């Protein structure tokens, strides 16, 4: 114990005589401790703890098919494109049980298709209405950005609303067709 105390005194005297060396030593120790803590935190979060998913059995592996017909893991760009386009398809998948029950109770394919299309168009209609209200409310601020078009031009507003409605209809037809082709026995059995 006396050796430890003597070493401690000598170290403190050296730090007092050379404050730059003391500061450099403290910074080096702080960097070492900080980097060790950071590395342990990363290793703990990535390797040691379980994945933070409520339902890990619902995780899926997404593959795509290359030009030769081989299944390959989906790339990042493909995933984001799929995610961007899959919002309405995801809504149909989430409502799959409800649609299967409706089909089992005798709903026609046309009725199931109409149910999905109407929901998608209703959502698009709300978006168009909010957009037009925003344009009308901010028209005097937007007038500086417009060239050759009036700030409240009814033809432009109607044309944009019609175009967005057409795009929304096209975007809801694919999931609507998938909902119409739904086999109720298979869908209810997989749930």
Per residue in 43-94, pLDDT (tens digit) is: 776 666 666 667 766 666 777 777 787 788 877 777 777 766 665 555 556 6
Q: Give the contacts of 88 (CB within 8 A, at least 6 positions apart).
A: 116, 120, 171, 172, 174, 175
Question: pLDDT for 61-71, tens place per residue?
Answer: 777 777 787 78
The total of structural domains in the chain comes to 2
74, part of any domain: no
Note down the domain range covering 27.
2-58
Looking at the fold, whether 115 and 184 belong to one and the same domain comes out as yes
pTM of the model: 0.45
Confidence of residue 30 (pLDDT cuts 50, 70, 90): confident
Looking at the fold, whether 122 and 181 belong to one and the same domain comes out as yes
The torsion angles phi and psi of 59, rounded to 5 degrees, stand at -70, 140
Task: Report the C-alpha gap between 81 and 111 in whole angstroms.
Answer: 30
Instruction: Answer with the one of 11, 29, 58 that is the final residue of a domain.
Output: 58
Looking at the fold, whether 117 and 39 belong to one and the same domain comes out as no
b/e per residue 85-119 (b: at least 16 CB within 10 A): eeebbebbeebbeebbebbeeebeeeebbebbbeb
121, part of any domain: yes
């Amino acid at each position: 114990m006396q050796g430890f105390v003597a070493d401690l005194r000598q170290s403190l005297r050296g730090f007092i005589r050379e404050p730059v060396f003391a500061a450099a030593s403290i910074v080096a120790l702080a960097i070492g401790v900080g980097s060790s803590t950071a590395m342990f935190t990363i290793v703990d979060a990535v390797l040691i703890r379980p994945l933070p998913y409520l339902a890990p059995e619902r995780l899926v592996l997404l593959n795509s098919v290359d030009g030769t017909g081989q299944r390959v893991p989906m790339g990042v760009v493909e995933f984001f494109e799929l995610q961007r386009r899959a919002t309405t398809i995801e809504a149909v998948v989430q409502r799959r049980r409800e649609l299967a029950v409706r089909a089992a109770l005798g709903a026609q394919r046309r009725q199931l298709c109409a149910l999905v299309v109407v929901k998608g168009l209703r959502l698009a209609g709300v978006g168009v209405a909010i957009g037009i209200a925003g344009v009308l409310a901010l028209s005097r601020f937007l007038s500086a950005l417009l060239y050759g078009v009036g700030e409240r031009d009814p033809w432009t507003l109607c044309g944009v609303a019609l175009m967005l409605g057409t795009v929304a209809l096209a975007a809801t037809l694919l999931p609507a067709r998938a909902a119409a082709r739904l086999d109720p026995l298979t869908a209810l059995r997989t749930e």
